[in-house]
Amino acid sequence: MERARKRKNVDTATRTGDDEIHDAEMEVPLINLVHGSRNAASRVDQGIPRAKEATFNVETAATSSQAVDIGILLQTMTQVMQNKNQQQLQQQKLQQEQTQSSYFDKLYRANAPNFEGGPDPDVALNWIAQMETKFKALRFPEDVKVQVVIPFLVGNAENWWRSMEPMINVDENDITWEEFKEMFLDQYFPRALRKKRQNDFYSLRQTENMTVLQYANKFTSLGRFCPKVFEDEEEKMDRFEQGLREEIGCQLASHKFTTFKNMYDAALAVEMRFKLNEGERSIGKKPRWMMGSNQAVGTRQQGNFQNANKRRGPINANGGKLKQ
C-alpha cells in the first residue's frame, strides 16, 4: 500500500516536472514571439519615416523636375515671343520705309520745291504752305509728312536739320508735322517777326487806292499768323468787314452773311457798282443809282416841251412865230 502511494507521488511529481518543462519550453517561444513582435514593430516604426522620406524625396525630385521643365518652357516661350515681336517690328519698319518711299515719289512727281534756307521769311512760309497744299491734294497721312519733306531740304536748310537731329533723336521718337513746323519757323521765321505780322493783321485797313481784291489778298496772307481768327467764320467775317472802306462796309452792314465767300463776293459787287457810277460821272452822265423816276420825269418834261413847240409852231431867231 505504502509502495503504491509512493509510486503515485513519483508519477505525480514526474508529471509535474514534465508539465513544468513543457510549460518552460512553451514559454520560451512565446517570449521570443513577443520580442519578435516588438522588434518587428520597432522595425516597422523605423521604416515608416524612411518610407516617408523616400516618398518625399521622390515627390521633391518630381517637383524639381517639373519646375525645371516649366522654367525651360517659359524661357522658350519668352524667346519665341521676343523673336516674333522683333520680326513684326522689322516688318513694320520695312513697310514704313516702303510707304515713305512711295509717298516721297508722289511728292517728287508733284514738283514739290526744294528749300535752301535764307534770310527772307516769306520764302520759308511759302514753302511750308506749298507743302501743305500738296499734302492735302495727295491725301498724305500725318505719320509720313516729316520724313518725306526732309529730302527737300538742301543747302543751309539741310545743314540746319542735320544739326537738329541729335537733339530731337528723330530715329527713335518721330515728331509730328506741327512740331516740325514750329522748329522750322523758329529758325526761318522768328517769333518777333511773326508777332509783328499779327499786329499788321489786326491793324489792316483798305486804303483809297487798294481794291477789294488786294485787300482780301493781304487779309488772307496776314491771317496765316492769326489762325484762331480764321478758324471761326463769324470772327473772320467781322474782321474783314471792319477793314473795308467805310462806303463799302456800310453797304454790307445791313446784310446777314453765312460764309466769308458770300461777304467777299458782295464786297466785290459793291465796289464794282461804285466804279461804274464814278465812270459815268466822269463823262457827265448821271450815276445809275440816280436814274429811275428822275429819268422818267426828265423824259416827260422833254416830251411836253416838244408838244408845246408843235402847238406854237416854228419860232424865229428873235423868238417870234414864223409865218407859214
Per-domain residue ranges of the chain = 106-189, 207-305
pTM for this model (two decimals): 0.53
Rounded Cα–Cα distance for residues 66 and 63 (Å) = 5
Is residue 263 within 8 A of residue 216, CB to CB? The reply is: no
Query: CB of 237 within 8 A of CB of 276?
Result: no
Over residues 295-307, the pLDDT tens digits come to 433 333 344 434 4
pLDDT average, residue stretch 262-282: 89
How far is Cα 59 from Cα 52, in angstroms, rounded to an integer? 10
Instruction: Collapse the DSSP code of 296 into the 3-class scheme (helix H, G, I; strand E, B; otherwise coil) and give the result.
Output: helix
Determine if residue 224 is left, alpha or beta; phi over 0 gives left, psi from -120 to 50 gives alpha, anything else beta: alpha
On average, the pLDDT of the chain sits at 75
The residue-averaged pLDDT of 260-285 equals 86
User: Residue 266: CA atoms inside 13 Å, Cβ hemisphere, count?
Assistant: 20
C-alpha separations of 17 from 6, 20, 24, 263, 306 in Å? 16, 5, 10, 149, 196
pLDDT cut 90: percent of the chain above it? 46
| Least confident range of 32-46, 129-143, 291-305 | 291-305
Higher pLDDT, 84 or 15: 84
DSSP 185-244: HHHHS-HHHHHHHHHHHHT----TT--HHHHHHHHHHHHTT-HHHHHSHHHHHHHHHHHS
Beta strand spans in 18-160 (E): none
pLDDT band, very low/low/confident/very high, at 48 (cuts 50, 70, 90): low
Residue 319: band (very low, low, confident or very high) from pLDDT cuts 50, 70, 90: very low
